[in-house]
């Protein structure tokens, strides 16, 4: 029970940091190009995690037979995902980008049912539907598909599919490695792939100031190093379906962060969307479903009838 509670706390902290990260990405992209931003933040994260690995797990080594799986997960979950995400945030608002990331649980459930043949429970279906309606209300139903905006949406959905694949590619690694080791090796592989692309990118170095530096450090230390370890801990103990459903909180955090940090107004529709998204996560985690309740009611009626018969 304690493990589940700790895992839920871990994923809530992770989603909070990742939700606010969209605001920081928007700020830092004024200076760094999308590939450069991803490279620098994960380069710093790699150094931090290397030190932690040497202290916590000095004997841990990546086995040759796991290099392919670990590198593939790192390339997709770090290099490709953040390439898509950074370019997406460049062309659309941070709130819109975060909202699309909120669809990851929907695609995860669908992939679960197709690849793993997992039957969707009633709670999962209701949770997905609530999530879809919540995202619709937050967007407001007014998506303008202009050239750059459409490109931004395409990039963000590329990030969504990358993350779904990343979750499945990482699953089998839990049997042999700790969360810390998995995150470290994946970030190293992802960063190695990003570096060549960043070298040919133009950056506005002259625009660097304290605000940009603070937001960059937040992305590098909290969002890239610490939050990844927390996410892996939650993923191992809660499973990919439940864990990714918590990602629905990211747009909620982004919208609230925009309100308190950038003084952005929250409309009535957005508030409805926030409530629906929170409710969707709650419904999916309910141990009892609508069908269970019906069975209980039916069973109770049967028991009452049998009691009347016996009394006669």
Mean pLDDT by 10 residues, the chain (312 residues): 87 91 92 95 93 91 93 94 93 79 76 74 81 74 64 90 88 86 94 94 93 94 88 84 75 81 73 79 65 56 54 54
Q: What is the pTM of this model?
A: 0.79
CB 94 within 8 A of CB 27: no
Query: Which residue ranges make up each domain of the chain?
Result: 2-311
Alpha helices by DSSP H, the chain:
2-28, 34-56, 67-74, 81-91, 94-101, 104-115, 122-139, 147-171, 179-198, 210-217, 227-238, 240-245, 249-261, 268-284, 290-311
What count of other Cβ atoms lies within 10 Å of the Cβ of residue 300?
10
CB 32 within 8 A of CB 220: no
Q: Is 84 exposed, middle or buried (0-12, 13-18, 19+ CB in 10 A)?
A: buried
pLDDT of residue 9: 92
Q: Which residue has the tokens 């606010």?
A: 20
pLDDT of residue 249: 78
CB 81 within 8 A of CB 184: no
Of 81, 108, 86, the C-alpha closest to 97 is 86
Query: Is the backbone of residue 141 left (phi > 0), alpha (psi -120 to 50) or beta?
Result: left
pLDDT of residue 276: 84
pLDDT of residue 60: 92
pLDDT of residue 189: 96
Count the residues in the chain.
312
Token pair recorded at residue 139: 């967007």
């Amino acid at each position: 029970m304690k493990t589940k509670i700790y895992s839920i706390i871990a994923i809530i902290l992770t989603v909070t940091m990742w939700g606010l990260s969209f605001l920081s990405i928007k700020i830092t992209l004024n200076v760094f190009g999308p590939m450069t931003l991803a490279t620098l933040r994960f380069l710093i994260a790699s150094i931090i995690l290397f030190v932690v690995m040497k202290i916590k797990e000095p004997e841990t080594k990546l086995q040759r037979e796991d290099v392919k799986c670990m590198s593939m997960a790192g390339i997709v979950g770090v290099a490709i995902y953040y390439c898509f995400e950074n370019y997406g945030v460049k062309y659309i608002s941070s709130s819109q980008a975060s909202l699309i990331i909120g669809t990851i649980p929907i695609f995860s459930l669908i992939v679960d049912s197709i690849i793993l043949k997992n039957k969707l429970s009633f709670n999962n279906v209701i949770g997905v539907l609530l999530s879809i309606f919540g995202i619709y209300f937050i967007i407001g139903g007014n998506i303008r598909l202009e050239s750059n905006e459409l490109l931004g949406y395409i990039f963000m959905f590329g990030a969504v599919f990358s993350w779904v694949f990343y979750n499945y590619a990482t699953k089998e690694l839990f049997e042999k490695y700790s969360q810390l080791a998995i995150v470290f090796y994946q970030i190293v592989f992802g960063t190695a792939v990003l570096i060549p692309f960043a070298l040919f990118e133009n950056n506005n170095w002259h625009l660097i100031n304290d605000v940009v530096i603070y937001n960059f450090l937040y992305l590098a230390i909290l969002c890239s190093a610490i939050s990844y370890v927390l996410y892996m801990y939650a993923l191992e103990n809660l499973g990919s379906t439940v864990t990714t459903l918590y990602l629905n909180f990211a747009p909620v955090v982004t919208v609230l962060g925009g309100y308190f940090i950038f003084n952005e107004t929250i409309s009535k529709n957005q508030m409805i969307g926030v409530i629906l998204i929170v409710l969707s996560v709650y419904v999916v985690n309910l141990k009892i479903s609508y069908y269970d309740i019906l069975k209980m009611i039916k069973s109770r009626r049967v028991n009452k009838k049998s009691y009347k018969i016996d009394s006669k």
